[in-house]
Structure 1
Amino acid sequence: MESEQVILALAALAQSTRLEVFRLLVKHEPAGLPAGEIGRTLAVPQNTMSSHLAILTRAGLVSSARRSRSIVYRADLARFQSLALFLLQDCCGSRPEVCAPLVANLTPCCPTE
């Protein structure tokens, strides 16, 4: 992932409504949610929600697909994983014990099979 892409994604998430939208969409993976339902759930007007979703889409954090008369949005978990890995890539500095607490904190919520 390039630095400019990371900056765009972090800037998109640096706003409270957009962060809430992304977290909501993560909870509804893989089905996603229609735009109207996202707005109703978060009590955000349609035109405002549309702007937030456009910013998240440009940042590559969400994708959309038309289903009948609705536009369904989904979190792009692969893109988010790339973002997290970019941020953590140099975390260890060739010292795995530095990242061990982070890995331990992620393990309960994300067990490996």
Structure 2
Amino acid sequence: MQAEAVIRALGALAQEHRLAAFRLLVQAGAEGIPAGVLAEKLGVPPSSMSFHLAQLANAGLVTQRRESRSILYSADYGAMNALMGYLTENCCGGAACADAVACEPATNRKNA
């Protein structure tokens, strides 16, 4: 992932409602969530939610598809994984971590 794309993605996520929306979309899986449902769950006006979703889409973090009269948004897991890879590629100086748990997501650490 290029630094320019990373900056765009991090900039899009650096806002409370966009970060919350992205997290909900990650949880929703490939099925996605309609924009109106996202707005309702987050307590954000639909017009504001549309703006936030456009910012996430412009950053390449979400995809959208039309189903009937609804637009469904989904997290782009490839983009998310590329961003995470970019952020962690220098973990432990680029060498295999002596303490692999230190570089695992928090949810995995609970099970370790």
Q: Say whether the 8 Å CA contact 1:91–1:99 is kept in structure 2.
A: no
SS of equivalent residue, structure 1 residue 64: strand
| Superimposed CA distance per residue, residues 53-93 of structure 1 (whole angstroms, 9 cap, x where no aligned partner) | 00000000000000000000000111000000001111122
Mapping for residues 1-113 of structure 1, pairs under 5 Å: 1-97=1-97, 100=100, 101-103=102-104, 105=106, 107=108
Q: Say whether the 8 Å CA contact 1:91–1:98 is kept in structure 2.
A: no
**TM-score, length-normalised on structure 2?**
0.89
Instruction: Tell me how far apart the structure 2 counterparts of residues 48 and 22 of structure 1 sit (CA, whole Å).
Output: 15
Gaps in structure 2 of 5+ consecutive residues = none
SS of equivalent residue, structure 1 residue 29: helix
Q: Say whether the 8 Å CA contact 1:66–1:72 is kept in structure 2.
A: yes
The 1:109/1:76 distance shift into structure 2, 3 A limit, reads farther
Instruction: Tell me how far apart the structure 1 counterparts of residues 82 and 56 of structure 2 sit (CA, whole Å).
Output: 15
How many Å apart are 1:29 and its aligned residue? 0.4
How many Å apart are 1:102 and its aligned residue? 1.8
Q: When you count helix as a share of all residues, which structure comes out higher?
A: 2
Identity of aligned residues (%): 44
Which residue identity lines up with residue 69 of structure 1 in the other structure?
R
Instruction: Tell me how far apart the structure 2 counterparts of residues 104 and 53 of structure 1 sit (CA, whole Å).
Output: 25
**TM-score, length-normalised on structure 1?**
0.88
SS of equivalent residue, structure 2 residue 31: coil
Task: Number of aligned residue pairs: give it.
Answer: 110
How many Å apart are 1:107 and its aligned residue? 3.0
